[in-house]
Amino acid sequence: MSKKDEKSEKRASSRVFFSLEDGIEAIIDSYRDAPNSIPVTLMSLSPGGLSFMINRYLLPEIKEGDALVLRDIRIPAPLGTIDRLEGVIRYILDFEHNINISLGCVFTRIPDELAARLEEYIHYRLKNLDGEE
């Protein structure tokens, strides 16, 4: 089995990736006792979740299984801004010598219409912008 086949088997759905230079931002609106408006930068998006980078010192206590609310998720056209999504942290990648950590989040509540819009956007981007599945 090729590495691409193995990767496809592990993924429940297609996803698109972004770079830090793309500057696709969101705000963590609700996480424990943290102050509002914690900025994050999106790194990937799928119909079931997303990943983002964050300064490690902004949420030093975060761990897998924690719930959070993301808002003002600014996805490029044709999708546009997503007002609010709820999720749970699925994984944390900690690059010890980097100020940022990467977190993967699975959506816990997503309206059917938004899930369909995400799916359409991902297929659009994969077709038109050479993303990865």
The pLDDT value recorded for residue 17 is 92
Grade residue 133 by pLDDT with cuts at 50, 70 and 90: very low
The pLDDT value recorded for residue 42 is 95
Right CATH number for 13-128 from 1.10.443.10, 2.40.10.220, 3.40.50.720, 3.40.640.10?
2.40.10.220
Cα torsion 27, 86, 10, 113 to 10°: value is -100
Which sequence spans correspond to the domains of the chain? Answer: 13-128
Q: SS3 helix, strand, coil % of the chain, rounded to 5? A: 20, 40, 35
SS3 call for 89:
strand
- Mean local confidence (pLDDT), 22-40: 80
Single out the residue of 76, 70, 60 nearest to residue 19, CA to CA: 76
The pLDDT value recorded for residue 31 is 67
